[in-house]
């Protein structure tokens, strides 16, 4: 089960990244930031339970940067 959750977390990061590389999603958009935040949070939680410190650092910082990106988005009806 942990593997499936980990795959979901990875896909939530990789799909928007691939879409941005293909010009189908902006890295400064709400959906990109939210997908990255959720995916990296899932992977951070798995890393914490497994005590994988390098992975905790990588995914934890990724989650924090996604959160910063969300706060830097222009105010929309959803974010007000």
Q: Is residue 26 part of a domain?
A: yes
Domain presence at residue 80 = no
Q: Is residue 79 part of a domain?
A: no
pLDDT score, position 76: 58
Sign of CA dihedral 58, 49, 64, 67: positive
| Overall domain count for the chain | 1
37-74 pLDDT per residue, tens: 999 999 999 999 999 999 999 999 999 999 998 898 88
Query: Judging by beta carbons within 10 Å of its beta carbon (0-12, 13-18, 19+), is residue 42 exposed, middle or buried?
Result: buried
By residue range, what is the domain housing residue 39?
A: 2-72
> How much is the pTM?
0.86
């Amino acid at each position: 089960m942990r593997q499936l959750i980990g795959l979901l977390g990875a896909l939530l990061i990789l799909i928007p990244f691939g879409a941005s590389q293909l010009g189908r999603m902006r890295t400064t958009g709400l959906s990109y930031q939210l997908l990255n935040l959720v995916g990296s949070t899932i992977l951070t939680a798995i890393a914490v339970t497994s005590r994988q410190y390098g992975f905790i650092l990588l995914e934890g910082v990724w989650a924090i940067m996604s959160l910063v990106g969300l706060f830097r988005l222009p105010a929309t009806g959803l974010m007000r």
